[in-house]
Chains A and B, each alone.
Chain A
Amino acid sequence: MEAEAAKLIGAGIATSGMIGAGVGLGVLFGNYLQAAIRNPSGAASQQTMLFLGMALTETMGLFSFVVSLIILFG
């Protein structure tokens, strides 16, 4: 296999780290919605925490994105 082809395949595989971020975001928003439907009056106060959790979870996926960029262009 040529090195260039292996590089492209590797970059593609590296993005599979985003699976975890996707699952994490699903769990996060799903649980938030569940809690918000059970107790609508408390939902608004937790929105900041929701977005903070979203940002922290998303970062893990973005790391794999950056790794694949490093493989492609580094």
Chain B
Amino acid sequence: MAEQPEIDPMHQFLIHKIWDGPTFQLGGLTVDMSITNSVASMIAGAVILVVFFALTARGQIVPNRAQALAEGLYNIVDKVLVTPIIGHEGKPYIPYLFSLFMTILVLNMMGVLLAIGNLGGLTLTFTVTSQLAVTATLAVLTFFSVFILGFIKHGPKFLGLFAPSGMPLPLLIFMVPIEMLSYFVRPVTLAMRLFGNMLGGHVVMSLFGSFVVALGLAALAGGLSTLLLVPSVLSFAMIVGLTGLELVVAILQAFVFTALATVYLNEVVNFGHGH
């Protein structure tokens, strides 16, 4: 048997410093300004978004390819989500929802398309959305903006959200805590869903990748173990299929995150109409 490379699918999620930055104290907390691989990927994602925006912002009557792509993406948020779910009052919130959609989409796609940077224990590329800290930030930001918007728009009446109308008082005592729990667990599920999907997909891809290498190396020993080439090739075919699946998941999760944000926003904007 040839020497076995270590199978460690979680290695790609380790954060390490690329550039040592200064540290300073801020209110008792130590703030580290170092550039890690996570930060570098986020900067790359931001650059992609800005370049994409610069290329497509000049609206032409006959759109070029980049503009057609941008309009298609915008229509997903506007025509598929906001208009059918919220209606016309949802228009002012499209900029936030669209930026949310684009940010998650670009970061997810970078993780899948540039996954080759993680071959052989390298950590050149990094899936930013596979970090719970990042997804939790997005989820908490979305959830609390919507929650605070509810109080700004409706005042204390907004607390009626936790008390379904037409419910008898004895039941209400049980229902209000349950409703509150199911409401405040939303940012947790929102963060967990994106994190779990990206992490899970990349772990499976990485596992099959290490099967290809480990079984292929074992097959080199010759003799009967040459047969191990078969599962090695099958694993490689599996990676090709999984990459396609991960592309779908990357787009779908960006869509789902935005869709849920739209549904939560709908409760606030159309508060009192649907209940």
Between-chain CB contacts (< 8 Å), 26 pairs: A45-B84, A48-B80, A48-B84, A48-B259, A51-B252, A52-B259, A52-B263, A54-B256, A55-B253, A55-B256, A55-B260, A56-B189, A58-B193, A58-B197, A59-B192, A59-B196, A62-B192, A62-B193, A62-B196, A62-B200, A65-B200, A66-B192, A66-B195, A66-B196, A69-B199, A73-B10
> Footprint of A on B, CB under 8 Å?
10, 80-81, 84-85, 189, 192-193, 195-197, 199-200, 252-253, 255-256, 259-260, 263
The CA of A51 and the CA of B255, in the complex, are separated in Å by: 9
A-B contact count (CB 8 A): 40
A20 smallest CB distance to B (angstroms): 15
| A32 contacts chain B at the CB level, 8 A cutoff | no
B105 smallest CB distance to A (angstroms): 15
Interface size on A, residues (CB 8 A): 15
> Footprint of B on A, CB under 8 Å?
45, 48, 51-52, 54-56, 58-59, 62-63, 65-66, 69, 73
Residues A59 and B259 in contact in the complex (CB < 8 Å), given A48-B81, A51-B252, A65-B200: no
Known: A51-B252, A59-B192, A59-B193. 10 other contacts (CB 8 A): A45-B84, A48-B81, A48-B84, A48-B85, A48-B259, A51-B256, A52-B256, A62-B193, A65-B200, A66-B196
